[in-house]
Structure 1
Amino acid sequence: MHKDTGNRTTVQEFILEGFPAVQQLGKVLFSVHLLAYLTSIAGNSVIVIITCANTHLHTPMYFFLSIFSFVECCFTSTVIPKLLVIFLLGRQTISFAACLIQAFVFLFLGASGFLLIAVMSLDRYVAICKPLHYPSIMNLRTCLLLVTACCATSFILITSLLVKVSHLSFCDAHVIPHFFCDIGPLIHLSCSDTRATELMAFGLAVLILLSSLIITIIAYSNIAVTITRLPSAKERQKAFSTCSSHLIVLSLMYGSCVFIYVKPRQRSRPDSNREAALVNTVVTPLLNPVIYTLRNKQVHQALREMVCRMKISR
C-alpha cells in the first residue's frame, strides 16, 4: 500500500518476505517454530516463577537470571508470533508504524539482554574472585541500579536510532527480505541518503556488543585464573561448571549478532542475515533455560519443591 505525496510515493506498509525458498513447507515450519517458541517461553517463565517463589533463590545471581529470562520471553515474543502467522496463513504485510515498533522493541530488548549478560558476568566475577566482599558489593540496591542502568542505556541508544530511521523516506521498495523488521533491511529499503543512519547503527552495534563482550571476556578470564588457583579439585569443578555452560550461550549470541550487526555497510546482502537471526531469536532463547539450569542443584531442588506444593494443593 502506498500514499502519494506530491511527485513521490510513500510506503504505508511493508511485506515481510520470510523464507520464500521453503514457504511450501509452511505448516511443517509453523509446527517446529511453535514448539520451539512455546518451549522457550515455558522454560524462561519457569525460571522467573521459581526465582520469585523460592526464598533460597533470592540472591543476586538468580535475580539477574530471572530478569534475563523475562527479557528473553519478551524478546522472542516480539518476532516469533509474526513468523508463525507468515508460515501458517501467509500474511506477510506489516504497517509502517508496526514495523518501527517491532524494530524498536526487538533492538531495545536485545541490547538490554547483552548489557545484562555483562552484568551477570561481573556478578560471577565478584562471587568467585572476591567472595568475602560479595554480600556487601552485590546488595539489592546495587542489583536494582545495574538493571535500571542496562534498560535506561538501551532505551536511550535505541530510541535515538529509531528516531533517525523514522525520518528516512521510503518510496517504491516495500519488500523486506527478512522475517521481521530488523534495522539493516529496513534502512536498505529507504530511498533517502542512509549513510549517516547506517554509520549510527554500526556505531551503536559496536558500542553495545563489543563493550559487553569485552566486559564478559575480562570477567571470565579472571574467573578462569581464580578457578585454577583453588586448592580442591571438587571446588574447581563446581566453579567451572557454574561458568562453562554459560559460555555456550554467549558464543551463540555474540557470534550471530556480530555477524548481523557489526557491518559498516548494511547494503551488502541483507538477506544473508536471516539464518543468523533465527539462531538469535529462536535457538538461544530456547537454550538459555537449559544451559543456565542444567547442572544447577538449587534450581532442581526449587523445581521439586514447587511440584510437591502443587500436588499437595490439589
Structure 2
Amino acid sequence: MTFSAKGWIRAGTALTCLGLATYAAGDEKLTTYDGVCDASAGIALDAHHFVIADNNTDALRVYSYSGGKAVQKPRDLSDFLGAGDGKEADLEAGARIGNRLWWITSHGLNKDAERKEIRYRLFATKVSIARGAYRFKPIGEPYKQLMDMALADPAYATSGLREAATKSPEKGGINIEGLAEGPDGGLYVGLRSPVGDRGAMIIPLLNPDKVIAGKPAELGAPVFLDMQGSGIRSLEKIGKFYFVIAGPAAGKSDFSLYRWDGKAGGKLERIMVFSSDDDLKPEAIFAMIGSDDLYVLSDDGDHIAAMNGDKKCEKLDPSVKHFRGFKIKTPQ
C-alpha cells in the first residue's frame, strides 16, 4: 500500500492533517464474484462466507470469499417486499445486529422523479443454518413510512430533506445507501444524497425492532458528516468506530474511506482514497469475522457495461455479470 501526500480533512469545524493511504488493485487481491453486477450491500456470515444484496433484484446471495458463483440458491424476497410485475425494491444497504440482518432500500424517486412505493422499505431477516445452507427468514413486516416520518419531523425541517423529496437521486434527491448498528439497538441510516452545507446526513432510527412490528418510527436528530461534498455510500460499525465509504452524491468521482467516532460533531478522519485507475466503485464495506480486515464490494454495473457495448447490466446474459471484492486492513 502506498501513501499519498498529506491532505486536509474537515472534522466538524476543525481541520485535521494526516497521511492518506491510497488503495490500488495491486495492493490486495481483487476477487471476482459471478451472477450480478450491482452489489450494493454486504454482511459477513462466518469466516468464509458473506451475503449480498444488489439493486437490480430482490434476492439475497451467499458467496465464499474465494470468489465465483453464489454457493447456494438465492433467497428471493419479492413476495415479502410486495414487489411485482418485474419491479425491484432497489436494495441499497444492510447491517447485522446479532442474528438479525437489516436491509434498506433507496427511499428515493426513480430517474424520472416518480415515486414508486416498492422503493420505500426497511426490513429484517433472521439468519440461521439448516442442512448446511444459510436461511434468511423475514421478520415481521417491511416498514414503509421511514422517510414520511422524517419529512414530518420538526428536527428535519432545515435538513434539506423536503426539497430533496421532489427530485430524482441523479439531481440531488433522497437516496439512502448506508445502514449500520446505532446506539442502544438502534440503526443509523446514511444518505448518499442530498448533501448540504453541513455534509452528508445520518438519520438515527431509535426503535427498529418496533417498526417492523407495526409501530411508528422514533427518530433522533439528524447527524451530519462533512466529507468534502461526498455522500455516504456505505456505513459499518466496528468497535467504537464507524467506517464510512464516501463517494459522489451524483455522477462519477473519487471514493474515500473515513473513520468517525460516532458522535454528532465528533472526530471524522479521511484515512484512505480508492484509486480511480482500477475503475472501482466501492458501495459496501463490512467487517470480516475472525479477522481484523474489512471487506469492500465494488458496484460494477458501469464497469461491466463498458466492457459489453455499454449495455446495462440487467440486459446482459448472467454468464458475463460479475462484481469485485477486496480486503483492507482495519486502520488503527
What TM-score do the two structures reach when normalised by structure 1?
0.26
Higher relative CO (Cα under 8 Å, sequence separation at least 6) belongs to 1
Of Structure 1 and Structure 2, which has the larger fraction of its residues in strand? 2
TM-score of the pair, normalised by structure 2: 0.25
Which structure features the higher share of helix residues? Answer: 1
